Structure 1
Amino acid sequence: MDLHHVRIVLLDQNGQATRQITSLITAIQAVRYQLVTVTEVAQALDILATQRIDVVIVALTAHVDELNWLQTIRSKAPICPVIVYAEDTDESIALHALHSGAHDYVLTSDLSPSVFQRTIRYARAIVAQSVAEQQVQALTLALATAMSAAQQLEQNLDVAIHEIQTPMSILLGYIQLFERRVASWGGIPLRERQMLNTMRLQTIHISRLVSILLDSTQMATNYGKLERRPLELGAVLRAVVASIQGMRAPHLLVLRLPEVAVWIDGDYGRLMQIFHNLLLNALKYSDLHSEITLTLRADGQIIVQDYGIGIPSNALPKIFNQFFRASNAQLQGGTGYGIGLAVVQDLVQQHDGTITVTSELGSGTTMTVQFPCTLRPNRLVELPTLINELDEVLIRQRSLS
């Protein structure tokens, strides 16, 4: 659409509007307006069907059918802006015209070159927005159809993502090793050091995206079968805190454990993932050096409490939805795809547990997880098995950090 050459159809029964608008557009130098005047709605429809028209102006008189003309023009040319031009200042007529399909309403007494140009720009902007919304709806429908078809590929995608994770972890390890060696050599130009740092950061970013994609696909298939066995929750939480502290997080992590051991039937790797995600969220949305507490109670309840930005009350019901992020979390910036808490809730439910959240905006958030406890088993899992599982979890956490 040419912003400097605007073609207008003016539907004017008595010719008074034609004279005024012609005089008006003659005085405008920045935009070239081409005015086509008709006296019947049928003539306007014929022109709209055969020519490129940018705007339709309907001059209202006392004719009873004029408001019906608006509806007819809007139905025949839905993407063409329609402006009502009138001498009457009756607000009810203006509202009726807008409800009948007009995009804007201008009075003769208010009309000036600047008002005329602003009115046309506004009407065209409304139509452009409407067209964009329709395109978004069409794309959303197409996306939903594509996602439905993609469900058939989930199993193969899951395997492919697993295959990507291993070389990415190896690549990141070699980059970090090379960085340490380069640092010991000395005399490496700043540009080459920046390139190496960029490689490391991009590898970490890809690893995070791979992990997020893996989590989202696994949620659709309930993560396969959980490898549940008797586990002592205190030991799991100590391992989680140790992994977070290994990332040199600039916060005070406080772990509170009961005097008695708390046993549950759980998947070690998935439990690590649950509390790793919860602590990372607390770190992300808390001030540096603030305190974050992780408390285990004897009844199997685990509480993660921070004193960060908090969650708006209207966002709390949606906080566990996939791809949802609260407005203040988006404003704070940082990376995030709104899938971490959805994964956490799904994994907690897979363990027959529950998770709830309480929060006060600006004062922090408390996540409460409740698992069903079991008795201490007579025979514990062999140590080599747990060591292998811990290695796998640490590799996954390094890709997320």
Structure 2
Amino acid sequence: MLAGDDAAALKRTPLHALHLARGGKMVPFAGYDMPVQFAPGVLKEHLHNRAHAGLFDVSHMGQIELRAKSGKLDDAARALERLVPQDIAALPPGRQRYAQFTNDSGGILDDLMVTNLGDRLFLVVNAACKAEDEAHLRAHLSETCEITALPERALLALQGPKAEAALGHFCADIGKLRFMDVAELTLMGLRCYVSRSGYTGEDGFEISVPADGAEAFAQALLDHPDVLPIGLGARDSLRLEAGLCLYGHDIDTTTSPVESGLSWSIQKSRRSGGARPGGFLGASAILAQLDQGTARIRVGFRPEGRAPVREGATLYAGADAAEPIGAVTSGGFGPSLNAPVAMGYLPTAQAAIGTVVFAEVRGQRLPLRVAAMPFVPNTYKR
């Protein structure tokens, strides 16, 4: 926790007062005062989200609109393709796509969601990177595109098997959306962008809502008997069980999309031999890795025993090996599994499922077995 002037300097989301009223334990995160947990605690919040529904405040994340100065959506899409390896031009209206901003060497500047809203693109970027992401867009695309940050909008995530029922009270047609569908809807009199997506591995929605109506909207969702507020702690354990990357930990400027196990997000049209190969920052390195493979790869781990293996733990091929071969980038206890889980990087030649490696934890070598991800099956509505 921060104190005094440092605490006062933290930004607040439109739901800050609601978090305090609901007993949220507040911590600094990406420059914001955010709830890490509420009264039930991280474990119960995690399990409630898997069984029922949880409401997350993700208003600290960046929301940006991208419009072509020509007025043509395709021009905005092709402009954005200069900065991401994904096929944005082929993204249909009302659909969303996961993407990465890459640098000249093929490293990841940030990961983001891109939505085609018909006449413009809508981007959601990470909180810690949003100022740099906006500057990156302006530096490369200002001549052809209008770039508009949307600080006047809040962002909520409603996740879990009861999410559709809870949101359905405000829109009877919400069940028509499938995974990665997006719709502009009026909910409680508010103009919202609703995507069927999330960061937990569960079915659910992310809802961009005007900031001045966010607290009342969140409270209305929390009035549903299946919905509880969920903090950052359970958000992290849920995404870890789902095998999802956290920027600045599992991916950063030193990792490429291919090394990070994100090759699935790069469409064939942008690869060698595709309709529009390359053309994005770092293309030569990334296309070579797609064609030839990489020396290392992100994998999942199931530690043997009950002790969690945390981020930063050094990995070795054997209990007595002298030279490290990798490191853990995310790790903790998986409440749904009642066991620890982790992710990290290994040499590709030593990354096969079932391979046993050893992590250095408080002076001891603990065995971990390379495991398939996600650790908990996802429940997306496809």
Instruction: With the length of structure 1 as denominator, give the TM-score of the two structures.
Output: 0.19
Structure with a larger share of its residues in strand: 2
Q: Which has the higher contact order (CA 8 A, sep 6+)?
A: 2
Which has more radius of gyration?
A: 1
Which has the larger helix fraction?
Answer: 1
Calculate the TM-score normalised by the size of structure 2.
0.19
